[in-house]
Structure 1
Amino acid sequence: MITSPHDDLDSRVRAAAMAWLRLRCTPEDPVVSRSELLGFQFEGHAFPLIDNQLGIRKPQGMAAALSILTTYTSDGARAPYEDAVGNDGLLRYKFQGNPKHYTNVGLRVAFEHRVPLMWFFGIKQGLYLPFFPVWIVAVEPEQSQVAVALDEAQRHLSVDTVTSEIERRYSQRITKQRLHQPVFRQRVIQAYESACAMCRLRHRSLLDAAHIIPDRDTRGVPAVSNGVSLCKIHHAAYDENILGVRPDYVIEVRTDILEEIDGPMLKHGLQAMHNLRLTLPQRRADRPNSGLLEERYERFRAG
């Protein structure tokens, strides 16, 4: 028997899964593993939240899809978020093969009945950052995709016919703040093994992904090689040009800061960083791009 999206079982499954994610994903540990998602228990029974092989989870017996998944790919494999956002600022998710495949039908049903889904975005092999609830707000069969809203505000936009530039920019900002920035942050922090590259602080909730070239710049892409995992103090100091990083990964503290006399934070938190070397990711592809570092370092020197 297939339950409709309005049946009690369907609503209980969605509510239980999202309640578990809210408890499981904390500021200190916001990502969830593939094994945890496959091992989710619902009312005493195994009920995987993702499909073991497919990107769309449409459980047997349920009419609508429960979740969608974006597999992790390194920055070298493709441009981050390429062709993922429409002119309306809404994200797109591609169909699974044949548009008539049962998983794609499940997405259509989720759209027709306006039920909430979960989106698991890969930030490392076997690790996912969850976004929930999300909604399918349009089916675009010619492009073999659906449009996905990340919050209530985006649900009420006219897909691809946004009536004003203000609406379009607002929607794009939501997508950037709700998905692109958190995914970039987690990918960078994971690459640096959840530590500040300067002081080695390991409290994830106090770590940021600092852009080398700012994201307001057209070249400030959300790639790990354009980021450095820094604690909030060193991120702020980097942004304010209190300290800089040379292309050989050596940290420099501004001369006037080195000459200041103040308390222990200045001495140990900033001045002690001078001439230290960044702790780098193991994967070469994840290390800061030397060309971007050089450009940013020149700005530091000019300041």
Structure 2
Amino acid sequence: MIDSFMEDAFSARVRTAAMDWLKRRCADGDFVVHRNELLEFHFEGKRFPLVDPNRGIRKPKSMTAALSILTTYTAPGRRAPYEDRPGPDGLLRYKYRGFDPRQSDNVALRIAYERKLPLIWFYGVAEGWYLPCFPVWLVADEPEQLQFAVALDEAQLLMSDTVEARVGQRRYAERLTRQRLHQPVFRAQVLRAYDESCAMCNLRHASLLDAAHILRDSHPEGIPAVSNGLALCKIHHAAYDKNILGIRSDYVVEVRRDILEENDGPMLRHGLQEMNGISLRVPKVRRDRPDVAAIEHRYEEFRRSA
């Protein structure tokens, strides 16, 4: 039997090495990792997969606690096998495997919860592609609902249980979930749909690309769906948000008249003025293309600002 102190030291080295590798892997702005890379991760000279080939919970044989959790990508219009949703406190939930709290994978998660061990959450953004969110912690075991509550940062480990605190904490949890999970997932899905290049100028540097909303985030229908997104470089994203650029329902770009009449340097000329009249490059998959009704709504906003 492995000494518990030795196992804890080994577990800490594994988690540190895996998260350090993910930081380096995602440092260039490409925040998604393919399953094959995760299966071929090496630790201390040996292959040490970060995900399980067939299950969502990874518990290596050399460890008693889980190392990672995984949410499978679900294509639009299909029902997810597990619903990882926020609870009344705003914290996300991760469902048990199956219906038995004593099942071995669920026990491995419970040990991680009891020891307050950091985990990696691999969130599916396309078939075989995952956005790594780390470190995360399990902060509550809810066997009646067959789930664990997940904290996305260390502050949520210290949540108070007073009524006044719960209101502020829920808002904080919702904002953090949006920043650390929903927005990165939206960005990853949009950039993959557009082959990681700007839909206007074809710039292919991932670190300089954004996922722009067509219907704004504040709009009631401004959902984080690929059909409500555009992959744009940072200058064209800013120009689109400020209504310097508009997009017609036939996907042709228009530049505001006063911008066309300006006389400035090469960035204005090549970066903005020459976009006038070009056709937006849209995804090959029809369901990922910009929603025409959303495009028309934003175009009318652009026209009113001209």
Instruction: Tell me which residue corresponds to 1:21.
Output: 22
**Aligned-pair distance for 1:4?**
4.7
Instruction: Tell me which residue corresponds to 1:228.
Output: 230
Instruction: Tell me which residue corresponds to 1:181.
Output: 183
Unaligned runs of 5+ in 2: none
TM-score by length of 2: 0.93
TM-score by length of 1: 0.94
Instruction: Tell me which residue corresponds to 1:106.
Output: 108
Contact kept? 1:3, 1:62, Cα under 8 Å = no
- Summarize the Cα distance change of 1:133–1:3 in structure 2 as closer, same or farther, 3 Å threshold: farther
Amino acid at match of 1:223: A
Task: Please list, as runs of the form range in 1=range in 2, the aligned pairs for 1:59-78 lying within 5 A after superposition.
Answer: 59-78=60-79
Q: Does 1:37 align with 2:51?
A: no
Cα distance in 2 between the residues matched to 1:181 and 1:286 = 17
Task: Please list, as runs of the form range in 1=range in 2, the aligned pairs for 1:167-246 lying within 5 A after superposition.
Answer: 167-246=169-248
**Aligned-pair distance for 1:156?**
1.6
Specify the SS of the correspondent of 1:196.
coil
**Aligned-pair distance for 1:62?**
1.5
Cα distance in 2 between the residues matched to 1:87 and 1:235 = 34
Stretch of structure 1 that moved more, 189-198 or 214-223: 214-223
Q: Deviations over 1:139-173 (max 9, x none)?
A: 11111111111111122225797734322212211
Contact kept? 2:254, 2:276, Cα under 8 Å = yes
Cα distance in 2 between the residues matched to 1:147 and 1:65 = 15
Cα distance in 2 between the residues matched to 1:2 and 1:73 = 39
Contact kept? 2:84, 2:95, Cα under 8 Å = no
Contact kept? 1:121, 1:130, Cα under 8 Å = yes
- Summarize the Cα distance change of 1:62–1:2 in structure 2 as closer, same or farther, 3 Å threshold: farther
Percent identical: 61
Instruction: Tell me which residue corresponds to 1:126.
Output: 128
Cα distance in 2 between the residues matched to 1:29 and 1:160 = 40
Contact kept? 2:83, 2:95, Cα under 8 Å = no
**Aligned-pair distance for 1:83?**
6.0
Cα distance in 2 between the residues matched to 1:184 and 1:161 = 33
Cα distance in 2 between the residues matched to 1:115 and 1:64 = 8
Cα distance in 2 between the residues matched to 1:112 and 1:201 = 47
Instruction: Tell me which residue corresponds to 1:94.
Output: 95
List structure 1 runs of 4+ shifted beyond 6 angstroms.
Answer: 159-162
Amino acid at match of 1:36: E
Task: Please list, as runs of the form range in 1=range in 2, the aligned pairs for 1:151-162 lying within 5 A after superposition.
Answer: 151-158=153-160
Q: Which of 278, 288, 291 is equivalent to 1:289?
A: 291
Stretch of structure 1 that moved more, 1-10 or 19-28: 1-10
| Matched positions, count | 302
Q: RMSD across aligned C-alpha pairs, in angstroms?
A: 2.0
Instruction: Tell me which residue corresponds to 2:147.
Output: 145
Cα distance in 1 between the residues matched to 2:258 and 2:3 = 68
Cα distance in 2 between the residues matched to 1:87 and 1:227 = 29
Amino acid at match of 1:254: R
Instruction: Tell me which residue corresponds to 2:257.
Output: 255
**Aligned-pair distance for 1:218?**
2.6
Amino acid at match of 1:60: K
Amino acid at match of 1:63: T
Instruction: Tell me which residue corresponds to 2:119.
Output: 117
Specify the SS of the correspondent of 2:175.
helix
